[in-house]
Structure 1
Amino acid sequence: MTRNLTLALLGCLAMAACGTPQEQCIARNTHEYRVVQGLLAEVEGNLARGYAWHEREITRTEWRDCPVPVRMRDGRTRWAGRPCLRDVTDTERYRVAIDPATEGRKADNLRARLKALGGPADAAVRACRAAYPETGARR
């Protein structure tokens, strides 16, 4: 994989929703490559740390100030805070033990898949650049 293709893929990831037609074409046609690249980075990080991170949502109830309308004597309405119970959801990260042998095999399989997807992704980027040539320098 060439350095320019990698830079193009990273740029398109950031600009996929509001990019030029060329950038949208590249993002659309290299989605699987970018997903596999992200998975490989996660697995390599797990191997380097020796554990994986998992997340779970924790919901708890806490007291908050809730706005309530209060009618004044002259008929106007103003908003006042009154304590009330509200559910709050937090995301908690926690460590999970990994099997290094399994993670190593997973990383090897993802590298092979990335290599297989590299050629078609490179061709897709060239095709998108040919189909949607950009005018002017955009950085």
Structure 2
Amino acid sequence: MLVLPLALAACATPRESCLSSVGREGRVLDALIAQTRGNVMRGYAIEEREELRTSRQLCRYRTDEGAIARRFCDRTVVEELRVPVTIDIEEEKVKLDQLLQRRERVARVQAEARAQCVARYPE
């Protein structure tokens, strides 16, 4: 799965690579804005945590004679949990306003950078 994005990136033209790198900060800000808006609307945040659990399973193993046998064994399983977390809604609103202002500034800078990419790498 990890090889596919690398293979596709290798196929990108210099213009596409330039445009993609220009948009990176905007995409991060868009994700943060969406997350903060969701927090304000819900009234709480959702935190993702990983929890280790032990699971008893039927496992295969090779005996001293070389035969395959089965027995129960413990396996550690990583579970991803989504946990509600208390937030200060007023602080979240202030953070959202700051993110939106920053997004506007970044959009102006990105528009200029995109124009430079197009000028540098015409199709």
Question: What is the TM-score with the length of structure 2 in the denominator?
Answer: 0.79
The residue that corresponds to 1:66 in the other structure is 59
Return closer, same or farther for 1:63/1:115 CA change in 2, 3 Å cut-off: same
Taking the TM superposition and a 5 Å limit, the aligned residue runs for 1:1-139 are 17=6, 18-19=8-9, 20-21=12-13, 22-70=15-63, 79-134=68-123
Instruction: For 1:118 and 1:104, locate their aligned partners in 2 and report how far apart those are by CA, in whole Å.
Output: 21
- Structure 1 position 16, deviation (Å): 6.7
Return closer, same or farther for 1:80/1:115 CA change in 2, 3 Å cut-off: same
- Structure 1 position 45, deviation (Å): 0.9
Instruction: For 2:67 and 2:119, locate their aligned partners in 1 and report how far apart those are by CA, in whole Å.
Output: 61
- Structure 1 position 28, deviation (Å): 1.6
- Structure 1 position 71, deviation (Å): 7.0
Instruction: For 2:72 and 2:5, locate their aligned partners in 1 and report how far apart those are by CA, in whole Å.
Output: 43
**Partner amino acid, structure 2, of 1:47:** V
| Equivalent position SS for 1:98 | coil
Instruction: For 2:21 and 2:33, locate their aligned partners in 1 and report how far apart those are by CA, in whole Å.
Output: 20
Return closer, same or farther for 1:28/1:16 CA change in 2, 3 Å cut-off: farther
- Structure 1 position 78, deviation (Å): 5.7
- Structure 1 position 24, deviation (Å): 2.3
Question: What is the TM-score with the length of structure 1 in the denominator?
Answer: 0.71
Q: Aligned-pair RMSD on alpha carbons?
A: 2.3
Return closer, same or farther for 1:62/1:115 CA change in 2, 3 Å cut-off: same
Residues paired across the two proteins, number: 116
Identity %: 34
Q: Give structure 2 stretches of 5+ with no counterpart.
A: none
**Partner amino acid, structure 2, of 1:62:** S
